A and B are shown apart, each in its own frame.
Chain A
Amino acid sequence: SQQGEEDPQALSIQEGENATMNCSYKTSINNLQWYRQNSGRGLVHLILIRSNEREKHSGRLRVTLDTSKKSSSLLITASRAADTASYFCATGEPGSARQLTFGSGTQLTVLP
Chain B
Amino acid sequence: DAGITQSPRYKITETGRQVTLMCHQTWSHSYMFWYRQDLGHGLRLIYYSAAADITDKGEVPDGYVVSRSKTENFPLTLESATRSQTSVYFCASSDSGTKNEQFFGPGTRLTVL
Contact = CB atoms under 8 A, between A and B. Distances in A.
A92 B99 CA distance: 12
Interface residues of A, number: 26
Interface stretch (B14-22, B37-45, B62-70, B76-84): B37-45
Binding site of B, secondary structure by majority: helix, strand, loop or mixed?
Answer: strand
Contacts of A103: 42
A56 interface: no
Contacts of A92: 100
B43 A42 contact: no
B48 A97 contact: yes
B42 A88 contact: yes
A84 B102 CA distance: 21
Contact of B101 (A2, A33, A99): A33
A45 B102 contact: yes
A27 B41 CA distance: 19
A88 B31 contact: no
A67 interface: no
A43 B43 contact: yes
B94 A102 contact: no
Contacts of A78: none
B8 interface: no
A111 interface: no
Given A33-B100, A33-B101, A42-B105, A98 B42 contact: no
B104 A44 contact: yes
A97 to B, nearest CB: 6
A42 B100 contact: no
Interface in A40-89: 40-45, 48, 88
Given A33-B100, A102-B35, 19 more contacts: A2-B42, A41-B106, A41-B107, A42-B90, A42-B105, A43-B102, A43-B104, A45-B101, A48-B100, A48-B101, A88-B43, A90-B43, A97-B50, A98-B48, A98-B50, A98-B102, A99-B33, A101-B59, A104-B40
Interface of B: 31, 33, 35, 40-45, 48, 50, 56, 58-59, 90, 92, 94, 99-107
